[in-house]
Structure 1
């Protein structure tokens, strides 16, 4: 029978999901007496575990990036609000804004471009300076600024929590394996070893190999159809 090959454009998460289904389907068969398949799936199970670890790390890193972007956006809002209030017609408001701006100027908005560790340290110091009594009095005079500073503190806390989760995820991994490289290896094994072997064995002995070959074919077809649908969504309208 003709089993199509796994689409190379499949995402890492799609390949991982397909592989998990393949392993599950294999375990339900009585093909463990086939030494070639047994060795092949033993290797694939190891690859699946590594891929799952790498994907978890990718997700943790993605969350970390999102939290950093939120923190950056909130910090910009604090700077922009204070800079705008420095032109307020009310002298009292203007004076309060200038007091807060002196603190902000000490750090500058360029902290956004620093490394995660440096930015976290600088924002932590900034929040500490903004919490000083004389600065708090000025902040209280500027409508909406206290809420923005509180939002910055929350964004900082969220980022630090995400950073801890990311570091813990990295620390739990036995090895730092690139998810994309793993995907390529797994797709190569599936296409050039598993699919090729089952195509041949299903022709030779359909009663033994046919059911699993057809299940594998369905798993791959489902994956490839999902990839095709996703690709079509990206195509511009004619």
Structure 2
């Protein structure tokens, strides 16, 4: 009995976990070959689960970018609102702030992540310069809006760094698909074959575990077959509906 080659990475990880739990119960320390197989199984299963988890981790870079974009627009709109009022000393001060904003433009929110970050950081340095304290004070809430932008920019950069690090980690390690195949091959070609052979030679030590392994594989293969059948039925239904519409 072999694990179905159509088994998903999660199916394979589940089988690996079940076998690790069983090995703790059916440990045969004097059998070094058997023990070595499970050392390899334990290592591959752990790597597979880690790979699956890395692939499933949600990175909130897009959400963080949307927040900083909103903060950028808030700064521009607040300054524009002050500049569009009747001429007075506060408006003159606001116009000096606007002159800085015009060098960057609100369209920085449409730049690539890297270019937007560079422009936001440069803009914040210019806008928060000590010599512009009076100009900032002339615009209600501007200092608070700039603080919000500084915070959301920092949050984005942290999220972006995590994304880059995860991408590098994935490139350094095997994919979940490759690890699932390694685990499947180890169980099919080494563990299963060995247990079936030893179950006949030493049934008191190996037969029960060999039987449990067969059951685990059978249950998995049935689950995989049921899933594939459901996918096929769904595909046929969609095709039938398409034909009816035509």
TM-score category (smaller protein): 0.5 to 0.7
Q: In 2 relative to 1, CA 119–166 (structure 1 residues): closer, same or farther, beyond 3 Å?
A: same
Q: CA deviation at 1:38?
A: 1.9
User: 2:65 matched to 1:72?
Assistant: yes
1:1-238 correspondence to structure 2 within 5 Å: 3-11=1-9, 13-55=10-52, 57-58=54-55, 62-63=57-58, 66-78=59-71, 91-92=84-85, 99=98, 101-102=101-102, 104-105=104-105, 108-114=108-114, 120-131=117-128, 133=133, 134=135, 137-138=138-139, 140=141, 152-162=149-159, 176-180=172-176, 181-202=178-199, 206-221=203-218, 223=220, 232=230, 235=234, 238=238
Cα contact 1:7–1:224 (8 A) shared by 2: no
Q: In 2 relative to 1, CA 137–151 (structure 1 residues): closer, same or farther, beyond 3 Å?
A: same
Q: What root-mean-square deviation, in Å, do the aligned CA atoms of Structure 1 and Structure 2 show?
A: 4.8
Q: CA deviation at 1:135?
A: 5.2
- Structure-2 separation of matches of 1:137 and 1:226: 68
- Structure-2 separation of matches of 1:167 and 1:25: 38
Q: Which runs of 5+ in 2 are unaligned?
A: 239-246
Q: CA deviation at 1:69?
A: 0.9
Cα contact 1:127–1:153 (8 A) shared by 2: yes
Cα contact 1:79–1:104 (8 A) shared by 2: no
Q: CA deviation at 1:49?
A: 4.1
- Structure-2 separation of matches of 1:57 and 1:153: 29
Cα contact 1:20–1:48 (8 A) shared by 2: yes
- Structure-1 separation of matches of 2:191 and 2:125: 60
SS of 1:92 mapped into structure 2: coil
Give the total of aligned pairs.
221
TM-score (norm 2): 0.60
Q: In 2 relative to 1, CA 169–74 (structure 1 residues): closer, same or farther, beyond 3 Å?
A: closer
Larger radius of gyration: 2
Cα contact 1:67–1:158 (8 A) shared by 2: no
SS of 1:32 mapped into structure 2: coil
Cα contact 1:54–1:176 (8 A) shared by 2: no
Q: In 2 relative to 1, CA 160–212 (structure 1 residues): closer, same or farther, beyond 3 Å?
A: farther
The higher-RCO structure (CA 8 Å, 6+ apart) is 1
- Structure-2 separation of matches of 1:207 and 1:136: 85
Query: Aligned residue for 2:241?
Result: none
